[in-house]
Structure 1
């Protein structure tokens, strides 16, 4: 497994953990629905990252659309969920338009994952 794919799997675990923590914080400490949205996207992102890493490994060595989509989904999830959670929990703004930027990257990442269906077998 390449270093990049290991990073994607590591992020999957961290996003899953952060999603559970955000859901717990939303249920017990904060009443803002944006935190629930952040938790949901972190959990979905965690599953997506694990899936993109598995698909990329199954497709063999070398870069694939699965690798690219994993990177995009990781970045988009971090920006989108980070912007929402940061505002709710710490009253911090990562940068203006961080959530919409992250959401746009996420949508593009899902489209790139769809392109992975068209990879031809080598050999």
Structure 2
């Protein structure tokens, strides 16, 4: 594997591991964007998605499980898209910089999915 591909995998892993830790360290902002249509407590979904990010990040970090982990990351990035839509909707009356940040998350999902698929291909 070329050094740049390995570096890309490590960066993706770090992103996911950091996000996973954040779900446990500061869960309230994540609770707020859990779509209301999901059954159960938003905190449960926050912890489940955090655990998924930790598991996928760890899988990408290990060369033996990198390809499967990267494919799971692409699915995870797609699965959390409704939370980003909810955030953008909920923040529609917030100050312009916050609205812009919430809206910017929407198209960001596509490059994250593409990044994960590229890591899978190079894994």
TM range (shorter): 0.3 to 0.5
Larger RCO, structure (CA 8 Å, separation 6 or more): 2
